[in-house]
Amino acid sequence: MSTAYLPTTNHDPEHIILRGATLIDGNGGDPVAGSEIEIKDGRIVYAGVQRNEEATSAGEGSDSGGKGPRVVDLAGKTIMPGFIDSHVHFGLSVENQAENLARFASERIVRSAANARKTLMAGVTTVRDLGGTDRGVRDSIQQGLILGPRVHLAITPLSPTGGHTDFTMPNGLPTMPAMPVDPIIDTDDDVRRTIRTLVRSGADVIKVCTTGGVSSPSDTPDDIGVPEEHVRLIVEETGKRAGQPVAAHAQGAEGIKAAIRGGVRSVEHGYGIDDEGIDLMLENGTFLVPTLSSALRVPDPKNVPGYLYEKKVKWSAIARERVTVAMAAGVKVALGTDAGVCPHGLNLREEMHAVELGLTPMQAIVAGTKNAAELLRLSTDLGTLEAGKLADLVVLDFDPLADITSLADPDNVKAVLQGGALVKDSAGWFPNSPVRSALG
């Protein structure tokens, strides 16, 4: 997938100057009051303290028209990088599983598109979809057919028979729709063939399940799934291609350590990580994507199977304790929600939960922007607001460092630019700017 994706339909990105807002650039430093950001051809030309009039006045336009860059006054507002959700499932809905199974495949695709749009409107301009979505959704977004974040795909998460992605009840009936690629890997040959199939199918990342899980019917988070030797084989196989990073669904302590020793780039969830696992993560520079929006949320027992509810109660408490310890130890955190297991479109609740478990508001913002871009290998183009990078940004009318909880409501994200194109302007702060819509 091209990391330089720019919207190509509806209109070209504007040459625009945003003035007066407080800038939180994603690097973790002090905010810049009265800032200026210049955007041209979808990328940031300048971001920092407001320049003098002589430096920017030549050929400037204004909100009411004129040639040259338009100037938009955003005094009193806050600008931040577009957020990156490192763990979503656009095609997934864990609650009401029977209803989901009864849907036509075409309806599930339409629902995926709706989930993508909700996510973008929440201020998330890039995601990593870790299972259940094929490249058709990703490519449709890139082509402007539907509106959503740019997407990195795992396509299908992998596990052994009876493991986390073997969604089969003891009687043989499925609990979820079929994955785009068969997820079961039991032998070395299975591993090689499946990884090659995923790469052929357009996977940007490979996801393995080194433990069981909460939502799967035939295992628990303490069970070992894909063993360490198969993780190593997967890392070896991807190294022969584009070096796709490996993400591990890993919840129990032993499976977490097997994933890290096998060479994964990120541990997803990490609920039961022990002190040895924390030391291994620090030693290897492994990212933790704690999916707190899912971990800390206990669903209504009427909407989920009994086995799922019971495991959720137990493991939410474990995650609250152990993820807090891991973050305090300095493990590198990239935020991801596991949307699909929790509701879509409420992605920035993750920052609120990260602060609840010990990060500062600034650390939580960095985890959802700069760190997440590094995890996805997109830091050349995304994650911070600096000259040369793609102009993905959100505009707020409050200070998230003083009130991180307000990020949790997508209505409080008033404006979103993606690749320099305005995709949301609910407050009307960008007069005369066209708002991009799918096939608009």
Does a structural domain hold residue 11? no
Q: Are residues 401 and 345 in the same domain?
A: no
Q: Are residues 49 and 161 in the same domain?
A: no
Q: Are residues 59 and 133 in the same domain?
A: no
Does a structural domain hold residue 1? no
Q: What is the pLDDT of residue 189?
A: 98
Residue span of the structural domain in which 54 resides: 16-81+383-425
Chain centroid, CA 215 distance in Å: 20
Distance in angstroms (rounded) separating the CA atoms of residues 180 and 135: 10
Does a structural domain hold residue 6? no
Considering all CA atoms of the chain, what is the largest pairwise distance in Å, rounded to the nearest integer? Answer: 75
Q: Are residues 118 and 35 in the same domain?
A: no
Low-confidence residues of the chain, pLDDT below 50?
Answer: 1-10, 57-59, 64
- Given a contact cutoff of 8 angstroms between Cβ atoms, the answer to whether 375 and 367 are in contact is no
Q: What is the DSSP letter of 107?
A: H
Q: Are residues 365 and 407 in the same domain?
A: no
Q: Are residues 303 and 390 in the same domain?
A: no
Of 399, 329, 382, 398, whose CA–CA distance to 359 is shortest? 329
Single-letter residue type at 193? R
* 333-346 per-position pLDDT tens digit: 999 999 999 999 99
Q: What is the pLDDT of residue 5?
A: 46
Does a structural domain hold residue 7? no
Q: Are residues 295 and 360 in the same domain?
A: yes
Q: Are residues 226 and 246 in the same domain?
A: yes
Distance in angstroms (rounded) separating the CA atoms of residues 440 and 436: 7
Does a structural domain hold residue 431? no
Q: Are residues 103 and 43 in the same domain?
A: no
Q: What is the pLDDT of residue 60?
A: 53
| Torsion 166-170-176-180 (CA) sign | positive
pTM of the model: 0.94
CATH code: domain of residue 59: 2.30.40.10
Q: Are residues 400 and 334 in the same domain?
A: no
Q: What is the pLDDT of residue 13?
A: 81
Q: What is the pLDDT of residue 92?
A: 87
Does a structural domain hold residue 5? no
CATH code: domain of residue 254: 3.20.20.140
Task: For residue 89, give Cα distances in angstroms to 141, 212, 269.
Answer: 15, 18, 14
Q: Are residues 312 and 348 in the same domain?
A: yes
Place of tokens 């996805």: 376
Does a structural domain hold residue 9? no
List the strands of the sheet with 150-153, edge to edge: 83-88, 124-129, 150-153
Q: What is the pLDDT of residue 244?
A: 96
Instruction: State how many domains the chain has.
Output: 2
* 130-184 per-position pLDDT tens digit: 999 999 999 999 999 999 999 999 999 999 999 999 988 889 988 888 899 999 9
- How many CB atoms lie under 10 A from the CB of residue 404? 23
Q: Are residues 303 and 161 in the same domain?
A: yes
| Torsion 149-155-158-162 (CA) sign | positive
Does a structural domain hold residue 295? yes
